[in-house]
């Protein structure tokens, strides 16, 4: 896929989401990064895609 970074296949799901959000808005990427830092590994309800959706929804 053109436009993706060369290391796309080596990136984690979280890194991919940050890259996508950063391409949309640096503020979105920062907000998502903050959510990742607060993420609790023992809470299976909080997944990368779920957090991404929350982040995008907050922006309207």
- Per residue in 2-55, pLDDT tens? 688 899 899 887 788 778 878 888 887 787 777 777 766 656 556 776 677 777
Helix (H) or strand (E) holding 57: helix 48-58
pLDDT (0 to 100) of residue 14 = 75
- Local structure of 25: helix, strand or coil: coil
Would you say the pTM of this structure is higher than 0.75? no
Dist. CA 5–CA 55, nearest whole Å: 22
């Amino acid at each position: 896929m053109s436009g993706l970074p060369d290391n796309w296949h080596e990136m984690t799901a979280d890194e991919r989401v940050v890259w996508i959000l950063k391409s949309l808005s640096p503020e979105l990427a920062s907000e998502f990064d903050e959510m990742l830092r607060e993420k609790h590994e023992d809470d299976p309800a909080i997944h990368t895609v779920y957090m991404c959706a929350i982040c995008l929804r907050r922006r309207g």
